Amino acid sequence: IGTLYVVATPIGNLADISERALATLSSVDLIAAEDTRHTGKLLSHFNIKAKTFALHDHNEKQKAQQVIDWLNEGLDIALVSDAGTPLISDPGYAVVNLCREQGANVTPVPGACAAITALSCSGLPTDRFQFIGFTPAKSHARQQFFIEAFESGITSIMYESTHRIMASLNDLQTALGAQQQVVFAKELTKTYETFFSGSVEQLIEFLTQDPQKQRGELVLMLPGKAKQQQEIPAEAKRMLALLEPQMP
Ligand code: SAM
């Protein structure tokens, strides 16, 4: 019986591919790629000759059983997306889910993921965080999305597309106020990698001054709402005041 390898690929800097990813892509019988042309370029850069087939959002439900049949025939298959970790705002869920249901072998070959890469250098708390995917397309839903993210009380990481970033930041400002802190990470691992931390108002100004900065691949992060300081009840305060003189 074969194995499905879920292989992460670089999010920009090709030197980030792992040795194990290269070895896996070179040795499998088939590579399931989100876009075979895109993956073809990666493979040819590393001089890997392999058979690829398309597995994307529009066909993965139909293809999932086929993948399992091939695994059952003994073929090893690698699953890759255009960049980063497959399944993370990328295709692959239907296949991995069915593999697990049917007891097929699935194993990760880990590597870059834009969300984790951005978080690791954001300066925001990393002890508890949530990844909430792409922001919604409609303004009202987006405002609600930002409020929920903030109210969760933990760091939120989200993906944003270049043509929507300004509209999104305006919604963020409407929903949480101009002084809301945000971290913006752009073009991670690439030549024009940029991090910006500040208020949403400052970020809007920063991106408006140089619209070039709105281009490219973007991650947006939001700290969670701080927990309210627990107010000590008046009665407890009175008791403490009474006990204090008797404390050692
Ligand atoms: N599976 C990928 C991963 O593991 O990060 C994410 C794929 S998702 C379709 C693409 C989005 O990821 C982009 O719109 C952007 O928000 C984010 N992204 C991908 N590469 C990035 C990079 N180099 N810098 C910043 N964000 C990136």
Tens of pLDDT, residue by residue over 4-53, are 999 999 999 999 999 999 999 999 999 999 999 999 999 999 999 999 99
Angle, helices 165-176 vs 139-151, to 10°: value is 60
Q: What are the tens digits of pLDDT across the range 197-207?
A: 999 999 999 99
Q: State the Cα–Cα distance between residues 146 and 100, nearest whole angstrom.
A: 33
For the cut 90, the answer to whether the pLDDT of residue 245 exceeds it is no
Q: Is the CB of 114 under 6 A from ligand 1?
A: yes
pLDDT of 230 higher than 70: no
Tell whether ligand 1 has an atom less than 6 A from the beta carbon of residue 89.
yes
- How would DSSP label each residue in 128-184? SEEEEEEPPSSHHHHHHHHHHHHHTSSEEEEEE-TTTHHHHHHHHHHHH-TT-EEEE
Tell whether ligand 1 has an atom less than 6 A from the beta carbon of residue 217.
yes
Residue 81 beta carbon below 6 angstroms from any ligand 1 atom: yes
Report the predicted TM-score, pTM, of the whole model to 2 decimal places: 0.91
Ligand 1 centroid from CA 173, angstroms: 23
Is this complex scored with an ipTM above 0.85?
yes
CA of 247 to the centre of ligand 1 (A): 58
Q: Which of the four pLDDT bands, split at 50, 70 and 90, describes residue 185?
A: very high
Q: What is the pLDDT of residues 109-160, one digit of tens each?
A: 999 999 999 999 999 999 999 999 999 999 999 999 999 999 999 999 999 9
Whether the CB of 157 sits within 6 Å of ligand 1? no
Average pLDDT, the chain: 95
- Ligand 1 atom having least distance to the Cα of 81: 1
- Which amino acid is present at 240? L
60 lines ligand 1 (CB under 6 A): no
